[in-house]
Structure 1
């Protein structure tokens, strides 16, 4: 690379250039701690901005390479994050279908606490203008392109410079994610997520953090193309599909937990828990994985009676997809449900609340579609706003109720209220998305606003512990919904993905997590006994239990045949439910703690033990609050390895005390054993011990 130009060498000597700021580039909007006196220095080939330690902030240095624009962030002399080199480029943009990037820094100024930069690029006549605005524990990086007409702007990082990477949420991967694969850490696999955006069905946020205690938040409402270690290239690329100024925040802290807390300071912590104590204590039973769309009144009542008669407790029985005559009609199919009021009464008599699956997507063949279209209640087509937007989904072709239209919203919610009143329905499971990028948002609204609108709609109903899938917007964080995962498969790989995915979701700011339905629900062959039992055991050590496949019997959707499980399956599933119920007082304490602090309930070991380096790559253990370490078996093996961080741990299964750090190899895990450990020095240890010690009686 060539060295700094003669003009730039003169600038380095005088420190006087003040280039005009890019048009449209405004001050960062995120709040941040006040900045202690920052130090700035310039030398040939290098600009350095140092923020000293203050309060709990460890301080950091950002070095800008001028021969070819790159940024390297360090803390106490140790690198924690660096942009990519080579032909990828750090600040990159796509114009006329070709990726370009910033090259030599041609001008800069340090004025009023802002480092402003201009740089040449690989595109003839195009320049990059950027600003670095430091504060105590983070800096804002804002930049734009002049002299070209880009359609994407992006940042690229050297993954190894920051250690391991986490965050993101539900990840699309070449290995089947998010349904059967969720790498943890993200760099342990490959993330290829080209439609990473606010209207996605996946639970995602544009936030990533690292084992080096750095973090990245991209402040955008546009779709992103995110690639982390794609093709094992060692790079993280975070591209925004927009020519608007790129706005990012880089956090620098002492621990990953502090980075997470910085992000929560931006998006907000939950204002409440949408789920009640009872919904944390006992499962919700949902019909989807048990029947898929092949469900009717007789089958649902037989399902309810089997659960009741076998002592499989639950607060709610939810009727999922395919109860309507046509999607959007909000009327029961009379052939499948000859007497839905009687069905409701029977379910209530068995001790369950009744829930229904609903969606804003109204199929074109429903009676309601024409009415909604004629009254302008549907989202408009992005390409032709004179007509309703139509979207193809797993149940046909539909229009979507426009929640930004007050009349449409009142019409839709009124129909829901009538449905619930007429049939004794206690709560709802909202499914599908509230917006689709093929549609145009209502005048004055953005796609991200539909996350807020969807959250506001759902907040008026009891979601019965299955929650809802809203994300990205701060209102989704503050609403306090339970977050359910995307559908999983029914094999061991999906069970493992359900754990690492909950760790990803809970550490981007959604603390009230449940796995997909216990046993999976991806339209695959019914789970074998061992998967179903191990999944229930795993879920018993998570905030909520979301059940569907009955341990009594189920239907294999791939063959149509009934699968009968044995009595041991029923007994072990019931034992997992009972364990979770005993843990409920401890879990409820963690819910209240999350409301105070925003901290996740289910979290990786390194959030509590940041100096325990072995914890950063563990995929099959987690902390449930500060006192419980869960290590259930997630494979078909007869033993497993358990890692215990520093501390004094009570081994629940063996009734012994173990001092950590220690790795237990060959830990026996017959089907009836679910390894769990209590940190005897942690807050809540006594309550956790009382819950987890073996019951003197069965269950």
Structure 2
């Protein structure tokens, strides 16, 4: 939200009270508590009749400092995000009155007197700070002429905002899943979850956290509506504002974006590892298409007959009867024997996913059951909140009620015990604010947080019923939602432009702490042209997770073939090529997934995350690293033209063996069966032997492929095994567990003997000789 009219004036109806000075700083409860009057205090009389801000600065966890700005405190402690408990740090007031808070390598200093100055420093340099006219309590007249908040919200009467300065050239990233430019400078970003599709400024996953390329990130610990002005209203600053009387945020230091993410996810939580089978190909019924078990079987037979690997089959909404979603009951007209059908799918080696959402239609017996028990959100008059959008007369499950959570989970437990393996948790964004929650939570603060409560409840029951195998396929989220993977990008259209915006959303989400991400291959709305479908297949099967899904048309590849399916550039052949490639990369992807769980580094990595020291890489949003070593540049055109950037070093094209020296911009043209996939110099890529599925014994027949460049020792994790590879200019030596694994350098390959292999490097791999043949 914007409150000013240019640099000097306020907008009509806006009354701003800025922190003018640090009048007094005290140490209280291991925190620095600063009295910040909104006028300079010259005489005793100046202390009368004015708003005062209380600013509390405290260490939280190493490298993280918490700041709370409060006007009136009588409203009690509002609901906030779940964060790690405080540990360590120090708080002092120096003889001159300067308050100093230290946490790890991060220091916050409040300078006494006028003007107001809160500064954050690390490594001997200033990171950012809150200065003159930065912290404010805002009062609005009923007719104030300010930008309106999101449509569900009326204009509030009071707001609190903070502004942290941006250094020259500092770039800002994150703020959840945003489909516009990856760099957020110059943008207004409203953190308010909405079901707006990928072609809008709205987002399914609003996360009030941004990171910069200047050594710090900022997490605004406010689960309700947060409005960000990123170098927009005040072009030298990032502003964030919330309605009410207080605002809390954390400053997070880190020498690199990856280090910032590591600390941010230590604060808000990291994802659990997901099972190997989840990295395989997912196929769905699509949304409104007609299907029954015979249709499903025809899809599966078609995939098998065309030698197309498949790991998961997903049933979308119409596994239940129309007008009754979500009632957790199979539609017996089309699925009369669900247990038998699930068993038959398992016999094919498949996992099964089911669509659910947290809305209960009035026609379902579950509605009356939930309403009578008090499990649904209610209006202030005590009646159940209902509307007709999506499902007629639907109500919304109240996840602040322990009883409602247990009721919802028990419904899911029945399905899991029937044989369902994973759950697609759709929706969770259309959450009303004119309601009463069971625990008395402020509905405005619960709007975004609802997604986290919903997904946490489902993930918990999956962990109980499928220990070590829990997988969601979630659309909505907010801060902390990364703890419950996987997330997908929402409703895109079937166009190249939407494919690109989908990628931008995923990269933005990756820079917001989310480790695993997917999207609808081919786009959701409409039926993609064959060229769009095939380009999206290559992109989708080189993403963290890969799902074919659409709205009113099927997404089986052979429906997009105009001619011979055996043609290498047919949709069927392209799907086969990249699905099999991904399965062979599963040991590599599993290691990247474990890294996400341990450090918060996402599987799909924006270029700024992988190459923070390269200014050219910082704004790039049409390419990414998949794991630590594979650079992928999807093709967004029918003709196959693509422009990409390779940072410094030697890069090897995974699909051809071509060697390229960077830094360099390249223009390439690719057929439908190809795209730029480059391997970083010095990489050691674990390639699985089997290409029909991702969940196998990866050590059995594993090949370690060592790429030119670098003299170092690298550890390669394959499951619980660690293989060590030492490289020099002339030789490569690998050690690991005894078994049927081997080492490959260029065209030479040697099987491990007694757990070790040793090869001399060849000067150049032959074209097409990078990937060992599957056996």
TM-score by length of 1: 0.74
Comparing 341-350 with 210-219, which one deviates more in the overlay?
341-350
* Cα distance in 2 for residues equivalent to 1:187 and 1:345: 52
1:83-94 map, 5 Å: 91=136, 93-94=138-139
Deviation of 1:679 (Å): 1.6
User: Cα gap change, 1:504/1:304 in structure 2, threshold over 3 Å: closer, same or farther?
Assistant: same
User: Cα gap change, 1:231/1:573 in structure 2, threshold over 3 Å: closer, same or farther?
Assistant: farther
User: Cα gap change, 1:654/1:339 in structure 2, threshold over 3 Å: closer, same or farther?
Assistant: closer
**In the alignment, which residue of structure 2 is the partner of 1:593?**
595
**Aligned: 1:481 with 2:515:** no
**In the alignment, which residue of structure 1 is the partner of 2:175?**
168
* Cα distance in 1 for residues equivalent to 2:671 and 2:112: 56
Deviation of 1:210 (Å): 1.5
Deviation of 1:421 (Å): 4.2
TM-superposition CA deviations, 1:552-605 (whole Å, max 9, x none): 96599xxxxx76554211101111111111110011111222222222221122
**Aligned: 1:571 with 2:573:** yes
**In the alignment, which residue of structure 2 is the partner of 1:31?**
61
User: Cα gap change, 1:185/1:193 in structure 2, threshold over 3 Å: closer, same or farther?
Assistant: same
1:472-551 map, 5 Å: 472=478, 474=480, 476-477=481-482, 479-514=483-518, 516-521=519-524, 523=525, 525-548=526-549
* Cα distance in 2 for residues equivalent to 1:481 and 1:678: 27
**In the alignment, which residue of structure 1 is the partner of 2:376?**
378
**In the alignment, which residue of structure 1 is the partner of 2:264?**
263
**Aligned: 1:416 with 2:412:** yes
TM-superposition CA deviations, 1:380-410 (whole Å, max 9, x none): 22x33x1222255433331122334344333
**In the alignment, which residue of structure 2 is the partner of 1:331?**
329
Comparing 651-660 with 90-99, which one deviates more in the overlay?
90-99
Consecutive unaligned residues in structure 2, runs of 5 or more = 1-6, 9-20, 27-32, 38-51, 64-87, 147-155, 196-201, 687-703, 708-743, 746-767
TM-superposition CA deviations, 1:234-286 (whole Å, max 9, x none): 86442212x2321122334432222222212311323x31x211212x11212
Asked if the contact 1:626/1:683 (under 8 Å) is kept, the reply is: no
> What secondary structure sits across from 2:283 in the alignment?
strand
Asked if the contact 1:465/1:544 (under 8 Å) is kept, the reply is: no
* Cα distance in 1 for residues equivalent to 2:396 and 2:174: 30
User: Cα gap change, 1:279/1:673 in structure 2, threshold over 3 Å: closer, same or farther?
Assistant: same
**In the alignment, which residue of structure 1 is the partner of 2:277?**
278
* Cα distance in 2 for residues equivalent to 1:570 and 1:672: 10
* Cα distance in 1 for residues equivalent to 2:325 and 2:501: 31
* Cα distance in 1 for residues equivalent to 2:306 and 2:160: 57
Quick check: which one's helix share is greater? 1
* Cα distance in 1 for residues equivalent to 2:180 and 2:193: 15
* Cα distance in 2 for residues equivalent to 1:670 and 1:695: 19
**In the alignment, which residue of structure 1 is the partner of 2:760?**
none
**Aligned: 1:394 with 2:374:** no
User: Cα gap change, 1:419/1:38 in structure 2, threshold over 3 Å: closer, same or farther?
Assistant: closer
User: Cα gap change, 1:655/1:18 in structure 2, threshold over 3 Å: closer, same or farther?
Assistant: closer
TM-superposition CA deviations, 1:444-483 (whole Å, max 9, x none): 6563477246413323225875532464454x34x35222
User: Cα gap change, 1:259/1:412 in structure 2, threshold over 3 Å: closer, same or farther?
Assistant: closer
Comparing 611-620 with 526-535, which one deviates more in the overlay?
526-535
* Cα distance in 2 for residues equivalent to 1:408 and 1:594: 32
* Cα distance in 1 for residues equivalent to 2:456 and 2:310: 25
TM-superposition CA deviations, 1:279-332 (whole Å, max 9, x none): 12x1121222xx535444443333232222222212221110122122233333
* Cα distance in 1 for residues equivalent to 2:394 and 2:706: 48
Deviation of 1:361 (Å): 1.1
**In the alignment, which residue of structure 1 is the partner of 2:302?**
306
**In the alignment, which residue of structure 2 is the partner of 1:649?**
651
Asked if the contact 1:378/1:401 (under 8 Å) is kept, the reply is: yes
* Cα distance in 2 for residues equivalent to 1:14 and 1:405: 43
**In the alignment, which residue of structure 2 is the partner of 1:628?**
630
User: Cα gap change, 1:656/1:49 in structure 2, threshold over 3 Å: closer, same or farther?
Assistant: farther
User: Cα gap change, 1:511/1:55 in structure 2, threshold over 3 Å: closer, same or farther?
Assistant: same
TM-score by length of 2: 0.67
TM-superposition CA deviations, 1:190-246 (whole Å, max 9, x none): 444262599x972232110112233211112322233446699786442212x2321
**In the alignment, which residue of structure 1 is the partner of 2:212?**
210
* Cα distance in 1 for residues equivalent to 2:455 and 2:59: 24
**In the alignment, which residue of structure 2 is the partner of 1:5?**
none
Aligned match of 1:96 in 141, 146, 170?
141
User: Cα gap change, 1:24/1:449 in structure 2, threshold over 3 Å: closer, same or farther?
Assistant: farther
